[in-house]
Structure 1
Amino acid sequence: MEAIVDGRESAVGAVPSFLSTVNGPEALSTLPAERLPELAEEIRRFLVDRVQATGGHLGPNLGVVELTLALHRVFHSPRDALVFDVGHQTYVHKLLTGRQERFPTLRQAGGLSGYPSRAESVHDLVENSHASTALSYADGLAKARQLSGEQERAVVAVIGDGALTGGMAWEALNNLGAAQERPVIVVVNDNGRSYAPTAGAFAEHLSVLKSGGGAGACRNLFTDLGFTYFGPVDGHDTVAIEAGLQRARALHRPVVVHVTTVKGKGYGPAEADKADCLHAVGARFPAAGNGQTGAKAPSWTTVFGRELLQLANAREDVVAVTASMLRPTGLHLMAQAFPDRVFDVGIAEQHAVTSAAGLAMGGYHPVVAIYATFLNRAIDQVLMDVALHRLPVTFVLDRAGITGPDGSSHHGMWDLALLTAVPGLRIAAPRDTPRLRELLGEATGIADGPSMLRIPKGTATPPIPAVARMGGIDILHRSPHRPLDVLLVPVGPLAQAVLDAAGLLEEHGVGATVADSRWIHPVHEALPGLAARHRLAVSVEDGIRTGGIGSALAQKLRDSGVSTPVTVLGLPPAFLPHGPRAGLLARAGLDAEGIARTTLDAHIAVSSARTTLDPAMSRRPR
């Protein structure tokens, strides 16, 4: 198949003729079984071409082609419920449910989502792409079917071995296995990996089953929990999978069908990709004339990973924890150098946080690297297991703010509103690479409580020097020879847009100071005094504007008796769609033009109010 993707023409070629006849899952029921391998091959060609043209999850989808064909031949969606855990492996499902023509728009603004989307199709039941949730959805659906007397409508949950490392999946299995009267079919897609090799004792147990140690009716972990177990089944043999699914459906009780697959199946580079670089890919064929040359600047994640390695070299007490995101969070560098000091706990964010608390109790300083969106799942552990005990744990939240093409479930926009409520938690947001290095060192030097750094997805910002430092606050800009009209307070990497906005404000005769407090929460003690010298303060953050840093700044000014009004700029409290980071920030008014426009309007309103209160002010020289 490699020859198919070596040239640009294949990436923009026509939809394969055989696949184009499948306009919905009902078309599969009349397809002779002997034609299935041909259809599977065409689907793989389609995926390699289209996904490398647009970017997206390639390896997971190549591995589930035959499995998805079998699911749609045995079950009748949407009457039968098909719930896919995580959802990044549903491209084949999308192809088979009438969305082939939209694939050129995959993960593009306004286009096809990279995850299931209820707005796209009645065949997409669940669009939350956080792992380990499908079994709980299935449990609730089965209960609803039982209550309404519709138990002939099957409930099927497809979950990977990686997602089964999450605690929520086991909470669901505990309930599903005990309800013999509710027929739920759990399809375990076992490829030995999630983003990385599956961690823990359960992965070892699956290996035993795959080797024949628990095949057929033999006792194993699933049967002990009350399930009938079928497997292991070759996940690339559609006929064999169909037979297993038909048997499972006929039993009308909880069943596990253990399917073994190969991630990246049918595409040599993806099959051999042990580092999971082809788990998700960027667009391989840029538009004509848009090719980039020269050395690429490092990402925020890369800069963090390199700096953490330097810290680990200098300090033996520094350890690291992640939840099945070793390479995506930059921890692989430290893991290669110090494998005994880096702990991948599987897709188990709650356990990761409380395990880090235990490491801190034991005298180490853990650095917990997790995507911002995934730490939402462990807020209670941050609050009660770390902060309550005032433990020195440093959290590094990758993909904070707008992430781009992965959409609503992956935008890291909730962390500030949630975590500013945690007592004793100190939060930093570096504006550039030198500040990332600086603040990581400061955070890991804190011994009396937790700390947090948030970094965005994308290329790291080059140095933005300060023109002065005032009590720990970096002054990035002061308008020369102008009044102190507006104090602009950016959060982290939005500093550059705010600096550009300050220039636009000056063109309208409005003087501005730009102040980066580096440590954004609790609000810096010097900020109220600085704000008091200005007519207006404007905070700019890439989290939701309700309950975030701007809200905390306004409260701090009120508590300090400072009357300077605060305008809070941030993201709306809504689920934002997928699209380019720059475009989504601009839509929220968080680019230079939007910041300047809103600030100018607020400044005019404040000035008008002051003039109304004191008409003589309109005659005073500025």
Structure 2
Amino acid sequence: MTSRLLQNINAPKDLRKLDKSELLQVAKELREFIIDIVATKEGHLGASLGVVELSIALHYYFNTPEDVLVWDVGHQAYGHKILTGRRSIFDTNRKLNGLSGFPKRNESEYDTFGVGHSSTSISAALGMAIASRLNGNTVKNHIAVIGDASIASGMAFEGLNHAGVTDANLWVILNDNAIGIDLSVGALKEYLSKSKIGIKPKQDNMIEALNFHYSGPIDGHNFDSIFKAFEELEKVKGPKFLHLITKKGKGLRQAEENQVTYHAPGKFDKKTGELLPKNNEQLPPKFQDVFGLTLVELAKTNKEIIGITPAMPTGSSLKYMMQEFPDRAFDVGIAEQHAVTLAAGMATQGKTVFCTIYSTFLQRAYDQLIHDVALQNLPVIFCVDRAGLVGEDGATHHGVFDIAYLRCIPNLIIATPADEIELRNILYTSSLGLENPIAIRYPRGRGTKLDWQKEFQQVTIGKGKQLQPGNDMAIISVGTIKTEVEKALGQLQHSEKVAHYDLGFVKPLDEQLLTEIFQQYQTVITIEDGVISGGAGEAILAFAHRHQFTSKIMNLGVPDEFIEQGTTEELKDLVGISAEKIKKTLQQLLT
């Protein structure tokens, strides 16, 4: 390499000092930098590699941060972060006390809007554009960069619908690479695909029909094409839409060819792109695979079973059912609201519907969960993946609120299986037919059991159990945090003084078991991997108050604050629910 341009770019103003002819070199260096860091530190790779030229072009052409740039989701924003003053600390990306893996307002003035979930960019940028106009500023540009998978979401359409009847200085740039985390799906994807290859769709241009000035599609890796499009669109008043074609993983052959795997590939060889070999020892299964493989097993004997996921077939492992029973398993795209009401509609027709959604994404379908499912008491089975602290994805992705936002909903059962076998059995029990909807929550990552594919056993709804007897105090654990409690007790002197109970269900509570616990123990500790405020511990506290039990109750869980990124182990320790912190709490109580 003849020169190192990137090392002298500490802000977009430095980038703008370069000649346009030097931007190809900047793109080469930026790609190499991203690959170097992600190869060893891990993170999201393919999306950011695909928008290297666009990231450079945006900060070169526009006067950021005065011109407002809003990235959708944030997986694609690594190049943006590196160009805006964070290159020297980018190796802390997604680490405890380091950079967030997503744009974050309090991290940089160039991160104009915090993101993590999809399809928010158009609404946010439109809000900024309308505010600018009200402030008398009609010159400032407001640019939303959104992917083809995200623009199919209902919220993106809502933003487009509103923007089309304004004169806002809004740019919507579509980064069209035909893939989100998994392949994009749906009629809009087919529409965009036709426009890429020059086939005139049957309908008129749908973007222009919404009163946007449409331009494209153009090559999103060609600086000349991008700048020409920017120059032409700058002359246009009102909302404008630029359609760019990019390749996810651009610049790393394996990432281009295996786009799903290289979305977030883990560690890999930065020169060859090959994934580094993992420990060959046999490992317990991921909870998502316990769900996915068990569902296939159930679906083989029950033709009424349906699987639904909003754009997460790989992450949720619904892919196994989609491969085995393609007519009964549906990826509906980034559309959680639609997924939930679709499930409700199928349930009215007697189908046994397993709707698998990450805990943090189920928040986006809360009204549908209440209005379309629980109010009508339709027995939809919600498989709430990524419940609890999820690690390096941080505050936008932690599944710590689900117990709190679910337990206030009438008719809804909330199951908290403590291990792979319990998850398998509650899935089986749900498939036999319930009279109510149920939410089954389980975490990201692996379980603890190699021999988990046991013969199915039916679960009694609303029943907990004692795991260990004790003399002085009782612990009630919620879900898979049981493992941390067991580790703590295994390291604790006089552990025979501490009884351990598995709650099993947050709703309905096992009132008989709780009554026995409060009658026997003067000190009761609840431990969960969700928020304390509104969580399972508070449900137990309310039960004790209602029945005038006088035991001392301590609730351990996630405090009333947003928890940032770090490994799951670091974060559990930070909030006091790691095995070591639980042990210290018990030691203090026992002295």
Give the TM-score normalised by the residue count of structure 1: 0.88
1:283 to 267, 274, 279: 267
| 1:514 counterpart residue number | 500
Structure 2 Cα separation of the partners of residues 423 and 284 of structure 1: 48
| 2:456 counterpart residue number | none
- Counterpart mapping for 1:228-307 below 5 A: 228-274=213-259, 276-284=260-268, 292-307=279-294
Give the CA deviation at 1:395.
Answer: 0.8
**5+ unaligned residues in a row in structure 1: which ranges?**
1-13, 605-622
Does the Cα contact within 8 Å between 1:319 and 1:365 map onto a contact in 2?
yes
What code does the residue aligned with 1:259 have? L
Structure 2 Cα separation of the partners of residues 437 and 538 of structure 1: 27
Does the Cα contact within 8 Å between 1:15 and 1:46 map onto a contact in 2?
no
Report Cα offsets for 1:434-453 as digits up to 9, x if no partner: 11111111233342111111
Does the Cα contact within 8 Å between 1:486 and 1:510 map onto a contact in 2?
no
Give the CA deviation at 1:593.
Answer: 3.0
Structure 2 Cα separation of the partners of residues 511 and 114 of structure 1: 43
Give the CA deviation at 1:256.
Answer: 0.2
What code does the residue aligned with 2:209 have? D
**How many residues are aligned here?**
576
| 2:65 counterpart residue number | 78
Give the CA deviation at 1:243.
Answer: 1.4
Does the Cα contact within 8 Å between 2:123 and 2:156 map onto a contact in 1?
yes
2:95 to 108, 114, 124: 108
1:486 to 456, 473, 476: 473
2:465 to 463, 474, 479: 474
What code does the residue aligned with 2:265 have? V
Give the CA deviation at 1:597.
Answer: 3.3
How has the CA–CA distance of structure 1 residues 247 and 214 changed in structure 2, closer, same or farther, with 3 Å as cutoff? farther
Give the CA deviation at 1:463.
Answer: 7.8
Structure 2 Cα separation of the partners of residues 421 and 16 of structure 1: 61
2:482 to 495, 499, 506: 495
- Counterpart mapping for 1:50-65 below 5 A: 50-65=37-52
Give the TM-score normalised by the residue count of structure 2: 0.93
Does the Cα contact within 8 Å between 1:106 and 1:113 map onto a contact in 2?
yes
- Counterpart mapping for 1:111-510 below 5 A: 111-179=98-166, 181-213=167-199, 219-274=204-259, 276-284=260-268, 292-462=279-449, 472-479=463-470, 483=471, 485-503=472-490, 507=493
What code does the residue aligned with 2:500 have? V
Q: Which moved more, 1:182-191 or 1:112-121?
A: 112-121
What code does the residue aligned with 1:193 have? I
| 1:17 counterpart residue number | 4
Structure 2 Cα separation of the partners of residues 313 and 269 of structure 1: 35
Give the CA deviation at 1:430.
Answer: 1.7
Does the Cα contact within 8 Å between 1:185 and 1:249 map onto a contact in 2?
no
Give the CA deviation at 1:301.
Answer: 1.1
Does the Cα contact within 8 Å between 1:426 and 1:521 map onto a contact in 2?
yes
Give the CA deviation at 1:106.
Answer: 1.8
Report Cα offsets for 1:402-440 as digits up to 9, x if no partner: 000011000111111100111111111221111111111
Does the Cα contact within 8 Å between 2:475 and 2:526 map onto a contact in 1?
yes
How has the CA–CA distance of structure 1 residues 214 and 159 changed in structure 2, closer, same or farther, with 3 Å as cutoff? farther
SS at match of 2:384: strand
Structure 1 Cα separation of the partners of residues 463 and 169 of structure 2: 61
RMSD: 2.3
SS at match of 2:90: helix
SS at match of 1:168: helix
How has the CA–CA distance of structure 1 residues 337 and 464 changed in structure 2, closer, same or farther, with 3 Å as cutoff? closer
Report Cα offsets for 1:54-74 as digits up to 9, x if no partner: 111111011101111111111
Q: Which moved more, 1:563-572 or 1:470-479?
A: 470-479
What code does the residue aligned with 1:238 have? F
Q: Would you say 1:94 and 2:81 are equivalent positions? A: yes
Structure 2 Cα separation of the partners of residues 558 and 331 of structure 1: 42
Does the Cα contact within 8 Å between 2:285 and 2:450 map onto a contact in 1?
no
Structure 2 Cα separation of the partners of residues 382 and 563 of structure 1: 36
Q: Would you say 1:528 and 2:519 are equivalent positions? A: no
Does the Cα contact within 8 Å between 2:522 and 2:550 map onto a contact in 1?
no
User: Identity rate of aligned residues, in percent?
Assistant: 38
What code does the residue aligned with 1:113 have? S
| 1:4 counterpart residue number | none
- Counterpart mapping for 1:581-620 below 5 A: 581-599=568-586, 601=588
What code does the residue aligned with 1:122 have? E
Structure 2 Cα separation of the partners of residues 540 and 178 of structure 1: 51
Does the Cα contact within 8 Å between 2:465 and 2:513 map onto a contact in 1?
no
SS at match of 1:594: helix
Report Cα offsets for 1:477-499 as digits up to 9, x if no partner: 113xxx3x212110111112212
Give the CA deviation at 1:501.
Answer: 3.2
Structure 1 Cα separation of the partners of residues 81 and 464 of structure 2: 50
What code does the residue aligned with 1:486 have? M
SS at match of 2:418: coil
SS at match of 2:17: coil
What code does the residue aligned with 1:477 have? Q
How has the CA–CA distance of structure 1 residues 414 and 424 changed in structure 2, closer, same or farther, with 3 Å as cutoff? same
Give the CA deviation at 1:234.
Answer: 0.5
Structure 2 Cα separation of the partners of residues 268 and 573 of structure 1: 44
Structure 2 Cα separation of the partners of residues 285 and 565 of structure 1: 54
Structure 2 Cα separation of the partners of residues 588 and 247 of structure 1: 52
Give the CA deviation at 1:508.
Answer: 5.3
Structure 1 Cα separation of the partners of residues 14 and 495 of structure 2: 66
Structure 2 Cα separation of the partners of residues 293 and 195 of structure 1: 26
Does the Cα contact within 8 Å between 1:550 and 1:568 map onto a contact in 2?
yes
Q: Which moved more, 1:260-269 or 1:587-596?
A: 587-596
**Computing the radius of gyration over CA atoms, which structure comes out larger, 1 or 2?**
1
How has the CA–CA distance of structure 1 residues 333 and 361 changed in structure 2, closer, same or farther, with 3 Å as cutoff? same
Report Cα offsets for 1:270-318 as digits up to 9, x if no partner: 11115x01011213379xxx97442333211112111111111121111
Structure 2 Cα separation of the partners of residues 509 and 85 of structure 1: 50
Structure 1 Cα separation of the partners of residues 487 and 481 of structure 2: 10
Give the CA deviation at 1:377.
Answer: 0.8
Q: Which moved more, 1:53-62 or 1:98-107?
A: 98-107
What code does the residue aligned with 2:483 have? Q
